[in-house]
Every structure is written in C-alpha cells, then in structure tokens.
Amino acid sequence: MASTGSNSTALKRALIFLGPPGAGKGTQAKVVAEVHKLPHLSTGDMLRDHVGRGTQLGLQARPIMERGELVPDEIVLAMVEERIARADCSAGFVLDGFPRTIPQARGLDALLVRRGFGSALVLHIAVAYEDLVRRLTGRRTCKVCGEIYNVYNRAPRVDGKCDKDGGELLQRADDREEVIRERIANYDRQTRPLIDYYRGQSTLVDIDGAADAESVNRAVLAVLARL
Ligand code: AP5
C-alpha cells in the first residue's frame, strides 16, 4: 500500500477509525499504525482474543458478538482504559471499532484528558450498504498474523493460506449474512450518532471508502500528512 514517507513521525494523538462493519476500518488502521509506528487497538480483536482464551470476559462477550450486538459499554471502556495505560500508547494510538456509542465516546474523551492527550482525530469511512455485505461475506483473516483478505477482491496467492506466513485463513463467526445485517442495523442505531458527536467537536474527517483499499489508503495518509 501507499506510503507518504512520513513513517518516522509519531502523531502524538489518538486516531479513531469510525464506520460501519466492512467499511475497511481494520484494513486502514493496520497500515496507518504501521506507517506511523503506533499501536493498533481493535476492540473487536481484543474481544475475540478473550473469547478464544475462554476468559470470564470472553464467556460474557461471546453470545453477544455471535448475535451481532454490542458488548456493554462498561466492559469495553475498562478494556480500553487498561490498554491505553500501557507505555506503548504514550505517543498516540490508532483505535479501530471504538468508540461505538455516545457513552463510550464520552468515556474516551475523559480518558484522553486524564492522559494528557488533545482531542482525537476521527476518520469516518463511508461505504454503501450492499458493498458492506459483499465485503464481509468475502472476508478471510489469517489465524496467525491477522492479515485481512477478501475472496472477491483481495484473494491470497494460495487458496486458504496467508501470503505472509502461510497461516490458515478463517471466516469470522459473525460474518454470516443474517448477523452482518444485524451488525449494520446496530451500527445505524447506536454508532452512527457519533458522526454528529465528533462533527460537533470539529474533529471528524470524511473519507470515501467506496474505492479500492489502496486508493482509500492514499486518501487517509494524505489527511494525516496534512496534520
Ligand atoms: P469488530 O471486529 O470491530 O467488527 P466491525 O466493526 O463489525 O467491523 P469489521 O471488522 O467487520 O469491518 P472493518 O470495517 O474493520 O472492515 P475490514 O477492514 O476488515 O467488532 C465485532 C464485534 O465485537 C461487534 O459486533 C461487537 O459485538 C463487539 N465489539 C467490538 N468493539 C466493540 C465496542 N467498542 N463496543 C461494543 N462491542 C464491541 O474489511 C472488510 C473486508 O472488506 C475485508 O475482506 C477487506 O479485505 C475488504 N476491504 C477493505 N477495504 C476495502 C475496499 N476499499 N474495497 C474493497 N474491499 C475492501
């Protein structure tokens, strides 16, 4: 993917990728984190890790995630607070899939103030409904490194194997069509109001997510280069 050559620059602020399921938040957040040498904090990945390890939190989250609903705010906020307190987040971090409700956004605002950060920069990626469903039903993720593929537009060189490490490519449990539609409906109800919340704070930039991932990536990196 594209690089602006600004890869030694720490951003010293929180970046938020906001958008519906399948908008490309994870795809873009990974690249931005790599280019700017910042940790990539995906609440979905953190929760799936808890589910995989069978922790108390994972046992609680699993049925909620399988239904395509949101995990309670207090659980997610506590998880993010603990993660942000680690030393690797002191120069900034990239949030993917958080915040997702107004209480989470308010909780994050308070956390950022406590940790001496300015307001977060929000990159809002918009994509049409039917494209989201197609992207998500085609998504496959490497079991080992988390690299994201798509059977329709970003297929691995060898079917079912990661190009980077040969790891098995898995389909997420919540990427079944009926669950995808529920996740998108929940996005519209609970997360879409964050667009106005952050627009009101003048910290939101709209990104057209309809183009291919590399073009979207160039647009995202160009926004960050202007900071
Ligand atoms: P989470 O893991 O955050 O899932 P999500 O928000 O539903 O988003 P996705 O990961 O499905 O999509 P994405 O936008 O990252 O797209 P991606 O880059 O992978 O959350 C899962 C669950 O955990 C939630 O339902 C909830 O239960 C719980 N949860 C998580 N956070 C929570 C929170 N804060 N509060 C409460 N509960 C929480 O791309 C998708 C596919 O499209 C890939 O195959 C990719 O290759 C392809 N693609 C990407 N970009 C493009 C492009 N430009 N053109 C064509 N294809 C593209």
pLDDT tens for residues 34-66?
A: 999 999 999 999 999 999 999 999 999 999 999
Asked if residue 4 has pLDDT above 80, the reply is no
Residue 25 known to be catalytic: yes
Question: Which comes out higher in pLDDT, residue 62 or 9?
Answer: 62
Q: Which CATH architecture has domain 8-38+91-225?
A: 3-Layer(aba) Sandwich (3.40)
18 lines ligand 1 (CB under 6 A): no
Q: Which of 37, 134, 143, 172 is catalytic?
A: 172
pLDDT of amino acid 10 = 52
pLDDT of amino acid 11 = 60
State both tokens at 92. Answer: 């900034």
Asked if residue 5 has pLDDT above 60, the reply is no
What value does the mean pLDDT take over residues 200-206? 93
26 lines ligand 1 (CB under 6 A): yes
Burial class of 17 by CB neighbour count within 10 A (0 to 12, 13 to 18, 19+):
buried
Q: Which of 25, 30, 135, 140 is catalytic?
A: 25
Q: Which of 48, 62, 135, 139 is catalytic?
A: 139
Burial 68-91 (b: 16+ CB within 10 A, else e): bbbbebebbbebbeebbeeeebee
**Cα–Cα distance, 104 to 202 (Å, whole number):** 18
Residues 34 and 9 sit within 8 Å (Cβ to Cβ): no
27 lines ligand 1 (CB under 6 A): yes
Residue 172 known to be catalytic: yes
Backbone angles phi, psi at 50, to 5 degrees: -65, -40
pLDDT of amino acid 12 = 74
The mean predicted confidence, pLDDT, of the chain is 93
